[in-house]
Chains A and B, each alone.
Chain A
Amino acid sequence: MMMEAVTVSTDPLQRAYSEKAEAIHVENLHKRFGALEVLKGVSLTAKDGDVVAMIGGSGSGKSTFLRCINFLENPTSGVIRINGEDVKMVSDGHGGMYPSNRRQIERIRSKLGMVFQNFNLWQHMTLIQNVIEVPVHVLGMKRDEAMVIGEQLLERVGLSAKRDVYPAYLSGGQQQRGAIARALAIQPRVMLFDEPTSALDPELVGEVLRVIGDLAKEGRTMLLVTHEMKFAREVASHVMYLHNGIVEEEGPPEELFGSPKSERLKQFIRTVS
């Protein structure tokens, strides 16, 4: 923060950006599974309105990184600040650490709307019940109020007609759009997308990407782990290329895809496109 204050840009656009609040700040994140070090010091700052796309081959650590942000995985070391709040961590005595305050983690998680590769809708609830579950039972919203918001969200993702249908009776694309509505229902500070189209049949990818693209356009803050390069290039404000647990290269999408510097990234772009 101090640094930014000193180096205020004269460019008004740039200055407006630097005045935006930080939604997520991650510093030097490490994650180790036994002998395998999956993340070797990854840092990221996302301000309000940023769309950060993370790309990389399988095993590059991009999904693990996303899962560390809402503590579905405990990072081995590093600093995580979400919503301006430093997450309190304590050592577990085996070289790792875990969050010391469960309530803080629950509070932070309820600000992050996570969308999973396999949708993970709750199978014993209808679509609308899935959408209002967290607002009503975690955030304490009144049921009627949550229903109104939930119905608006389902309409937005084109699923009004399916509100009383159980997830098992929906297509993958419909389930994923429902899962996006569930994430939006908590009015998240940041949306986290973990390969949201990887489990979908090719003909269903488009409908999900359209919804995500619309969210990006309206200025939602998002972290997006994806294999859809064309999509990342279109919607992202910042792209990170991970390889073997480190950020090999990052920057604005035109730069990263237009003139990649590292040999690995060049090769990666060639193989996936």
Chain B
Amino acid sequence: MADTSIIPAALSGIFELLSPNPPGWGGNLLRGLAHSLQIALGSFGMGLVIGTLGAYGKLYGGPVVRDLAAIYTTLVRAIPELVLILLLYYAGTDLINRVLEGMGYQRVDISGLVAGIVVLGFVQGAYATEVLRGAIKSIPQGEVEAARAYGMSPSLMMRRITLPAMLPHALPGLANLWLISTKDTSLLAVVGFAELTLETRQAAGATKAYFLFYVAAGALYLFITLFSNAIIGRVEIWARRGMPSVKEAR
């Protein structure tokens, strides 16, 4: 009896529990996975945008912009993510509603998905700022100078020269950030957002099959990572297209 509560004895029991159709909990887990991926993609994308702006601000901005960017990256990287999530999630939604009420509008319910993306994106942005800043600095300055010398406007230069040229230097750092963002989604369980970890906890709690469901969740996280690695590998080969292989230089 104790056996079945931790590890279901019969395989058929496992399949029943993991079945995507109720009373199996597999559907809940997959829904949680989908939510986690949505948040990871959204927050990583938002982090890239903030990171690009932050990196440009830190490198080329005036003193005020540089200071603001420095405060942002320092604070966000200093505070534990869990604390930031709690702070931004509760204080953030409260602030928005207070502002709305102050302006005479109705309170709004902020969806957990949007809030999760914004909160994690804000955190990702700080790390991405530093990754991209380092990558931009590693572009040979002559290439940037050539772009200026041929009359490129700043935005054209960014699109055609700076971003593609810095990408191979940024990719290892960005790949790290992406994998971190897939796992950081689990932190949103604390604010009650139904992502993979919370769904797993509920399934495990309801069936007492803790081991089974946490292993299943772990396998899903592992699957995300393996799939990501395959994609990142291809992107890296493409981004390094003009660069001789490191092995050849050895």
Inside 8 A of A110's CB, which chain B residues have their CB? 150-151
Q: B140 near A: Cβ within 8 Å?
A: yes
| Selected A-B contacts with CB under 8 Å, 22 pairs | A72-B149, A106-B152, A107-B151, A108-B151, A114-B150, A119-B142, A120-B140, A120-B143, A120-B145, A122-B146, A122-B165, A123-B140, A124-B164, A124-B239, A133-B160, A134-B150, A137-B152, A137-B156, A137-B160, A166-B241, A167-B242, A168-B243
Cβ of B98 within 8 Å of any chain A Cβ, yes or no, is no
- Which A residues are CB-close (under 8 A) to B161? 122
A242 to B147, CA, bound (A): 28
Judge whether A169 is part of the interface by a CB distance below 8 angstroms: yes
Q: Shortest distance in angstroms between A212's beta carbon and chain B's nearest beta carbon?
A: 18
Whether B153 is near chain A, meaning CB under 8 Å from some CB there, is: yes
- Cα(A72)–Cα(B146), bound, Å: 9
Distance between Cα atoms of A107 and B156 in the complex (Å): 14
Chain B interface, DSSP helix/strand/loop, else mixed:
helix
B243 touches A109 (CB 8 A): no
Cβ of B140 and Cβ of A138 under 8 Å apart? no
Please name all residues of chain B whose beta carbon is closer than 8 Å to the beta carbon of A116 when the two chains form the complex.
142, 145-146, 149
Chain A stretch 110-137: residues in CB contact (< 8 A) with chain B: 110, 112, 114, 116, 118-126, 133-134, 137
- Cβ B151 vs Cβ A123 within 8 A: no
Q: Any chain B CB within 8 A of the CB of A70?
A: yes
**How would residues 99 to 140 of chain B score, 1 for a CB under 8 Å from any chain A CB and 0 otherwise?**
000000000000000000000000000000000000000001
**Shortest distance between the CB of B22 and any CB in chain A (Å):** 52
* CB-CB contacts below 8 Å: B140-176 with A: 140, 142-143, 145-153, 156, 160-161, 164-165, 167
**Bound CA–CA A167/B140 (angstroms):** 13
A-B interface, 5 closest residue pairs, ranked by CB to CB distance from nearest: A110-B151, A109-B151, A120-B142, A166-B242, A120-B146
B143 contact set on A, CB distance < 8 A: 120-123
Asked if B151 contacts A134 (CB within 8 A), the reply is yes
Say if the beta carbon of A186 comes within 8 Å of chain B.
yes
Interface centre among A114, A123, A133 (most CB of B within 10 A): A123
Q: Provide the residues of chain A in CB contact with B80, threshold 8 Å.
A: none
Is A123 within 8 A of B149, CB to CB?
no
Bound Cα distance A171, B180 (Å): 42
Q: Does B62 contact A (CB under 8 A)?
A: no
> With A116-B142, A120-B142, A138-B156 in contact, is A125–B242 under 8 Å at CB?
yes
Known: A114-B149, A121-B146, A166-B241. 17 other contacts (CB 8 A): A72-B148, A106-B153, A109-B148, A110-B150, A112-B149, A114-B150, A116-B149, A120-B142, A123-B143, A123-B243, A124-B239, A137-B156, A138-B151, A167-B242, A168-B244, A169-B244, A186-B150
Give the residues in chain A near B243, CB-CB below 8 Å: 123, 166, 168
A75-108 residues at the B interface, CB under 8 angstroms: 102, 105-108
- Which residues on the A side are within 8 Å of B152 (C-beta)? 106, 134, 137-138
Within 8 Å CB of A167, what residues of B? 242
Neighbouring B residues of A102 by C-beta, 8 Å: 153
Chain B min CB distance to A134 (Å): 5
How would residues 222 to 250 of chain B score, 1 for a CB under 8 Å from any chain A CB and 0 otherwise?
A: 00000000000000000101111000000
Return B185 CB to nearest CB of chain A, in Å: 33
Q: Specify which chain A residues have a CB less than 8 angstroms from the CB of B167 in the assembled complex.
A: 124
Instruction: Name the A residues within 8 Å of B239 (CB-CB).
Output: 124
Pick from B143, B149, B164, B167 the residue with the most CB of A within 10 Å.
B149
